[in-house]
Structure 1
Amino acid sequence: MKFNELIAISTAKALLVPYDRRHVLTYHAWMEDPAIQEATASERLTLEEEYENQESWRASRDKLTFIICQPLPLLREKTLKDGVALSAGTADAPDNMVGDVNVFLYPYDNDDDDDTETPSSDLVGEIDIMIADSKHRGQGLGRAAVLAFLHYIARNLDGVLREYSSSKEGEEGKKNGAPPATTTRLKRLMAKIHKDNAKSIALFRSLGFEQEGDVNYFGELKLVHRDLEKLVSANNVEGYVELVYERN
């Protein structure tokens, strides 16, 4: 998505920055690891394909992506306020990068839902997180990143949904003379996690996600949460600020 291309999120425990071309070399090195390919159900890509992916993800209206970095130094973090600039390539230098967090938006399928009144414009947001380097796992970075990400989505949900809907509404506008008002809603959050990934399952369960159905053909559990506002209100994010991601 383009919606977050100028925004970084700083908290006391993690820093999130938009996925840029400058990050691709490090990201590609992560994805060369067969264990990460298996854990993320990803195919091995060439470096050129990885650069193309980054451009595609930025242009996509249904995928919102941040790179996870180690948090800003404590003294600096405490002085930050919304709108302060963060210079690209400093706090998100390769040595500070630890993973990524994404949401994929797609139409909600209510075949298994008792709510027969669910509009066809409702969406599911599938959350995906990776902490690439094992030395950064088990330190709470994953949970901190997911919470910061969900707080960002909650604060900016209207804008995220407008970008998702803009293509469809633009086509409708051409037919009808003017685009209709956005009626898209985020119906639920969801995470698909391999049944053997106990730590990731525990992370999402600690946030109130509940298992839905049985293990699928790919060995994954589906965990869902039906109330984003309730989730973020129940989980404070220390030091949360939205910064301007300033490129030279």
Structure 2
Amino acid sequence: MRLNEFAAISTTKALLVPYERRHVLTYHAWMEDPAIQEATASERLSLEEEYENQGSWRASHDKLTFIICQPLPQGEHGTSLCAGESDAPERMVGDVNLFLYPYEDEGEDQLPSETLDFCVGEVDIMIADQQHRGKGFGRAAVQAFLQYIYRHRDEIMQEYAEDKDVRTPPKLKLLMAKINKGNAKSIALFKSLGFAQEGEVNYFGEVKLVLPSRVLTLRHSGGFALDLPEGYSELVYSKDQNQDEKR
């Protein structure tokens, strides 16, 4: 999506930055690992194909991606973030994504495209290196990502609708995650953030966890229904376009 092209999210436990060309070399190295390919149901790509993917993901109206990095040092939280140092390869941890697609209610006839009312968001996270797992990066990243989705849900839906033949942007019906039944840590992570299992394990051995749309609402007290991550702030992500194009 274009929405987060110049947006970063900072908390005390993680930094999220938009996926740019400068990150592709490291991302490609991660995806060379057969275990990660299997866990993410991904095929091995050439470096050139990975660069093409990055460009297509940026232009896509139904995919929102951030690269997860180690948090900014204490005291370095301003209003903007210059690309390069804080998201250098050695500080990259993984990625977090939102995939959007039309909501289908089993047992009901499909709505014609011009009257599409709802869509579903699937949240996906990867912590690439073993050394970074079990340290809270995953929970911190998903928690921050959910806040961003809540705060910008209207803009997300607006961009999603740009390449759909609909009169008005659909509403976000629910968020969900599909996780391998053997991945107890990921299942526990999402459940700790309010997701609940729906149905049984599917044909592919996945558990479906759902966060109802009512959770993405304001409490009467004025606070967020979703817990606000410590130190949450949205920063302007500035980058050297010429430097990025050379990579």
Q: Given the two structures, how large is their TM-score scaled by the length of structure 1?
A: 0.88
Distance in 2 between residues matched to 1:149 and 1:234, nearest whole Å: 11
Deviations 1:98-150 (A, max 9, x none): 0000000000111168xx9xx73301000000000111111111000001011
Letter in 2 for 1:107: P
Shift, 1:166, TM fit: 1.3
Match of 1:176 in 2: none
> Is the CA contact (8 Å cut-off) linking 2:150 and 2:216 kept in structure 1?
yes
Match of 1:131 in 2: 127
**Are the structure 2 counterparts of residues 124 and 247 from structure 1 closer, same or farther at C-alpha, using a change threshold of 3 Å?**
same
Q: Secondary structure at the match of 1:110?
A: coil
RMSD: 1.7
The within-5 A match list for 1:116-127 is 120-127=116-123
Shift, 1:89, TM fit: 1.1
Match of 1:7 in 2: 7
1:51 aligns with 2:43: no
1:38 aligns with 2:30: no
Distance in 2 between residues matched to 1:234 and 1:156, nearest whole Å: 14
1:224 aligns with 2:210: yes
Shift, 1:236, TM fit: 2.0
Q: Secondary structure at the match of 2:75?
A: helix
Flag structure 1 segments of 5+ consecutive residues without an equivalent. 173-179
Match of 1:160 in 2: 156
Shift, 1:233, TM fit: 2.2
Match of 2:87 in 1: 92
**Are the structure 2 counterparts of residues 74 and 105 from structure 1 closer, same or farther at C-alpha, using a change threshold of 3 Å?**
same
> Is the CA contact (8 Å cut-off) linking 2:3 and 2:155 kept in structure 1?
yes
**Are the structure 2 counterparts of residues 143 and 110 from structure 1 closer, same or farther at C-alpha, using a change threshold of 3 Å?**
same
Shift, 1:217, TM fit: 1.7
Distance in 1 between residues matched to 2:117 and 2:22, nearest whole Å: 35
Deviations 1:56-98 (A, max 9, x none): 1000000000000000001213xx3xxx221111100000000
Q: Of Structure 1 and Structure 2, which has the larger fraction of its residues in helix?
A: 1
Distance in 2 between residues matched to 1:230 and 1:220, nearest whole Å: 28
Letter in 2 for 1:160: I
Deviation beyond 6 Å, 4+ runs, structure 1: none
> Is the CA contact (8 Å cut-off) linking 2:160 and 2:169 kept in structure 1?
no
The within-5 A match list for 1:1-248 is 1-77=1-77, 80=78, 84-111=79-106, 120-168=116-164, 180=167, 182-227=168-213, 228-230=215-217, 233-248=225-240
Q: Secondary structure at the match of 1:73?
A: coil
> Is the CA contact (8 Å cut-off) linking 2:24 and 2:51 kept in structure 1?
yes
Distance in 2 between residues matched to 1:207 and 1:63, nearest whole Å: 21
Flag structure 2 segments of 5+ consecutive residues without an equivalent. 219-223, 241-247
**Are the structure 2 counterparts of residues 234 and 112 from structure 1 closer, same or farther at C-alpha, using a change threshold of 3 Å?**
farther
What fraction of aligned residue pairs are identical, expressed as a percent? Answer: 66
Out of 38-47 and 62-71, give the one that drifted further.
38-47
Distance in 2 between residues matched to 1:47 and 1:225, nearest whole Å: 35
Q: Secondary structure at the match of 1:145?
A: helix
Shift, 1:168, TM fit: 2.5
Q: Secondary structure at the match of 2:35?
A: helix
Q: Secondary structure at the match of 1:75?
A: coil
Distance in 1 between residues matched to 2:70 and 2:121, nearest whole Å: 25
Shift, 1:234, TM fit: 3.7
Distance in 2 between residues matched to 1:215 and 1:156, nearest whole Å: 32
